[in-house]
Structure 1
Amino acid sequence: MAKSDIATRDDLYALLSAFYGLALVDDLLAGPFAEIRDQGLESHLPVMCDFWETMLFRERKYRRSALSVHRHVHSEHPLTSAHFIRWLTLWWATVDAMFAGPVAEQAKLFGRRTAWAMHRALVGHDADDLDEFVDREALIIR
Structure 2
Amino acid sequence: MTTTDALTADTRHTEPTEDNIRELVYAFYDRVRGDALLGPVFDGVLAGRWDDHLPKMCRFWASLVLGSKTYQGNVQQAHQPLPGIEPRHFSHWLYLFLDTVESRYRPAAAIQFMEPALRIAQSLQLSRFGWNYTIPAEQQALLTRIAPRERAAGSGHGH
Alpha-carbon distance, 1:133 to partner: 2.2
When structure 1 is superposed on structure 2, of 101-110 and 48-57 the one drifting more is: 101-110
Aligned partner of 1:85 in structure 2 is 91
Decide whether the 8 Å contact of 1:81 with 1:127 is kept in 2: no
AA partner of residue 63 (structure 2): T
Structure 1 unmatched runs, 5+:
none
Q: Which among 12, 30, 34 is matched to residue 39 of structure 2?
A: 30
Larger radius of gyration: 2
CA spacing shift, 1:23–1:123, aligned 2, 3 Å: same
Higher relative contact order (CA 8 A, sep 6+): 1
Alpha-carbon distance, 1:103 to partner: 2.6
Question: CA RMSD of the aligned region, Å?
Answer: 2.0
Residues 82-112 of structure 1 show CA distances to partners (whole Å, capped at 9, x for unaligned) of 0000000000110111111423112011111
Alpha-carbon distance, 1:30 to partner: 2.1
Alignment length (residue pairs): 137
Decide whether the 8 Å contact of 1:85 with 1:133 is kept in 2: no
Aligned partner of 1:132 in structure 2 is 137
C-alpha distance in structure 2 between counterparts of 1:33 and 1:86, whole Å: 13
TM-score normalised by length of structure 2 = 0.77
C-alpha distance in structure 2 between counterparts of 1:6 and 1:133, whole Å: 27
Structure 2 unmatched runs, 5+:
1-6, 154-159
Residues 101-136 of structure 1 show CA distances to partners (whole Å, capped at 9, x for unaligned) of 4231120111111111111111213544x4312126
CA spacing shift, 1:71–1:93, aligned 2, 3 Å: same
AA partner of residue 84 (structure 1): F
Map 1:1-142 → 2, pairs under 5 A = 1=7, 2=10, 3-34=12-43, 35-36=45-46, 38-73=47-82, 77-128=83-134, 130-135=135-140, 138=144, 141=150, 142=153
